[in-house]
Amino acid sequence: MRQLTRIMIVDDELHDIGFMIQFFEECLADCTFETFSSAEEALARLHFSDARGDNPALPDDPDIIILDLSLGAMDGFEFLTRIRGDELTRHIPVIVISGDGTSQAVDKAYEAGANTMFRKPASLQGYRAMIGAIVDYWQKTARHAAA
């Protein structure tokens, strides 16, 4: 597993995206971000053959996707189902964040293919802790995979 450098964030709350970027940048050097406010836009970006005009294909897959479940017409569950059903994208780790921490939502997220799920933080300290946990886990996993 390589370093965490390319992060895709799919969330329709711009301030939440800003918090995540800020705290990722505090933890990681040289990371880049692709941010989307809709699942449809993110899905088009991931599918190289579907890229068009102002939505060109990514040069590489993201190392990780941070996905909010409550989006728009296509919710996070459907997004997960689609990328897990596609040979080209099923390998990308997806971390789900949601304000809905019910057991039904958690079960549904894992059934759709989430690698892990966090309850959406209600404070800046919560965001900092969540991002710190993600980065810490990634770095430990990357070290272990390299050994």
Q: What are phi and psi of 19, to 5 degrees?
A: -65, -45
Tokens of residue 132, six digits: 């710190």
- CA of residue 47 relative to chain centroid, distance: 16
Contact (CB, 8 A) for 1 and 145: yes
Tens digits of residue pLDDT in 1-27: 456 678 999 999 999 999 999 999 998
Contact (CB, 8 A) for 28 and 7: no
Beta bridge partners of 33: 7
* Domains observed in the chain: 6-146 (3.40.50.2300)
pTM for the full predicted model: 0.86
Average pLDDT in the chain? 84
